[in-house]
């Protein structure tokens, strides 16, 4: 697994290289992961990992106990830990909305809001653009291209996402898992484009957190067009003028 995780520039932008954390997941070293998750911002709560067998509701344990359940040798959970450290505000916002929504759900019945939050959490890509009008145009154009000739889709989407002032940030932790374990399927994997207008020097993390919290009652997959994951990663690398190194 370390060979699969090492020297991958697609991980640039995450709080640490996945290969540096994998040994802790192999042996269940909670102390090492707790040190990594300790947030330097005093306004943000740090989480403690729990390798024990899952008990109780996953989102409730995060919110009520400050505990992040993880599994040994789980690549999915590794990238989730990295997401919590890289995007602490957006991840905490998702958790808070889950907890609030659970209070209104019937036992055993999961609502649409929470279903969509999970899709964002697992497969969201933040696309920052210059302003709100640019965000609306970008969403409309991605949908238009999606409905056009499939042969034209890659070039058209790359043209849109390479526009001046556009910045891609890969948020969903399951997208990285697909990159590592199933790279041959990326052209068939869809990512949700979370298109947000820039605002001063605010980070993608802060902008997504605010968006989710202010729109929590109206979240729906139809709001966000889908993108092919192979194109997302290709543009992510090109944006940084980085090429994969051998091995």
pLDDT at position 54: 67
Q: Is 244 a domain residue?
A: no
* Mean pLDDT value of segment 58-76: 93
Q: Does residue 107 lie in a domain region? A: no
Domain count, the chain: 2
- Looking at the structure, tell me whether residues 18 and 42 fall in a common domain: yes
- In sign, the C-alpha dihedral spanning 98, 103, 104, 110 is positive
- Asked if residue 171 lies in contact with residue 194, where contact means CB atoms within 8 angstroms, the answer is yes
pLDDT, residue 239, reads: 75
Tens-place pLDDT, residues 224-235: 899 999 999 998
Please report which confidence band the pLDDT of residue 52 belongs to, taking 50, 70 and 90 as the band edges: confident
Widest distance between CA atoms in the chain: 52
Asked if the model's pLDDT at residue 247 lies above 80, the reply is no
7-14: average pLDDT: 91
Together in a domain, 133 and 232? yes
Phi first, then psi: give them for residue 202, nearest 5 degrees.
-65, 145
pLDDT for res 193? 94
Note the pTM of the prediction, 2 decimals. Answer: 0.91
Distance CA 114, CA 119 (A): 9
Q: What percent of the chain has pLDDT over 70?
A: 95
- Output the pLDDT for position 133: 93
Helices (H), 147-198: 153-161, 173-181
Position 165 pLDDT exceeds 60: yes
Same domain, residue pair 118 and 217: yes
| Domain end residue (candidates: 80, 102, 124) | 102
Report the candidate in 91, 101, 113, 100 with the shortest Cα–Cα distance to residue 37.
91
Range of the domain at 185: 112-239
> Is residue 181 domain-shared with residue 63, that is, in the same domain?
no
pLDDT tens digit sequence for 74-123: 999 999 999 999 999 999 999 999 988 888 877 777 777 788 889 999 99
**What is the rounded average pLDDT of the residues 174-195?**
94
Averaged pLDDT for residues 64-77: 94
Domain boundary among 102, 121, 153: 102
**CB-CB contact of 49 with 33 (8 Å):** yes
214 and 150 in a common domain: yes
Residues 128 and 174 occupy one common structural domain: yes
C-alpha to C-alpha distance for 127 and 135, rounded to whole angstroms: 9
**Same-domain pairing of 191 and 234:** yes
Q: In 47-162, which residue ranges form alpha helices assigned H by DSSP?
A: 58-60, 75-86, 88-102, 112-123, 132-146, 153-161
């Amino acid at each position: 697994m370390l060979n699969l995780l090492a020297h991958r520039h697609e991980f640039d932008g995450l709080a640490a290289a996945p290969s540096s954390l994998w040994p802790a997941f192999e042996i269940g070293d909670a102390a090492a992961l707790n040190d990594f998750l300790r947030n330097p911002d005093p306004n943000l709560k740090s989480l403690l990992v729990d390798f024990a067998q899952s008990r109780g509701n996953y989102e409730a344990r995060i919110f009520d106990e400050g505990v992040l359940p993880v599994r040994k040798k789980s690549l999915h959970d590794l990238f989730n830990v990295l997401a919590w450290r890289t995007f602490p505000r957006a991840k905490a916002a998702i958790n808070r909305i889950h907890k609030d929504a659970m209070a209104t759900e019937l036992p055993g019945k999961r609502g649409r809001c929470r279903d969509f939050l999970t899709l964002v959490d697992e497969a969201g890509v933040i696309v920052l653009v210059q302003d709100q009008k640019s965000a609306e145009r970008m969403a409309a154009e991605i949908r238009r291209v999606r409905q056009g000739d499939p042969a034209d889709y890659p070039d058209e989407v790359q043209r849109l996402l390479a526009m001046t002032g556009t910045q891609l940030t890969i948020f969903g932790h399951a997208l990285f898992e697909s990159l590592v374990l199933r790279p041959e399927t990326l052209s068939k994997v869809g990512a949700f484009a979370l298109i947000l207008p820039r605002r001063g020097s605010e980070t993608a993390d802060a902008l997504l957190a605010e968006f989710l919290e202010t729109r929590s009652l109206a979240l729906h997959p139809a709001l966000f067009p889908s993108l092919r994951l192979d194109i997302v990663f290709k543009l992510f690398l090109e944006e940084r003028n980085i090429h994969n190194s051998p091995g």
